[in-house]
């Protein structure tokens, strides 16, 4: 079993920054693909960013490209989402996700964290 625990959410002003962390435990290992998703009130869950086991060529949703950075520290079994230049439209519950399969970064995630709230004020 893989457990994912997010942290780092909170309230921030527009233009500010937050860093989310996702600590993985259990059967997780460095080859897992990791991703961040978010779900805003009244909207469906959407992919925000994804990163392969190697960390190369990560995926970003167009809405966050240039503002958010996904990274991972395999030695710590932790994935991060650095969020800069935050906008009110970034307000959502952010979820960490993982999958053991390789390839496409946008789909196929099997394991999910509990979510952490990010609220961006105007």
pLDDT tens digits along 102-118: 889 999 999 999 999 99
Q: What is the pLDDT of residue 6?
A: 97
Q: Please give the average per-residue pLDDT across 34-43, as a whole number.
A: 96
Question: Which segments of the chain does DSSP mark as H helices, in order?
Answer: none
Q: Please give the average per-residue pLDDT across 18-24, as a whole number.
A: 96
Q: What is the pLDDT of residue 29?
A: 66
Spatial distance between the Cα atoms of 112 and 120, rounded to a whole number of angstroms:
23
């Amino acid at each position: 079993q893989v457990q994912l625990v997010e942290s780092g959410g909170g309230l921030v002003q527009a233009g500010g920054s937050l860093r989310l962390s996702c600590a993985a435990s259990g059967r997780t290992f460095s080859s897992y693909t990791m991703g961040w998703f978010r779900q805003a009130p009244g909207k469906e869950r959407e992919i925000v960013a994804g990163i392969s086991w190697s960390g190369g060529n990560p995926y970003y949703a167009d809405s966050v490209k240039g503002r958010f950075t996904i990274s991972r520290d395999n030695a710590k079994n932790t994935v991060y989402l650095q969020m800069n230049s935050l906008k009110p439209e970034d307000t959502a519950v952010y979820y960490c996700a993982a999958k053991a399969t390789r390839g496409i970064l946008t789909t196929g995630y099997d394991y999910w964290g509990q979510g952490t709230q990010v609220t961006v004020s105007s």
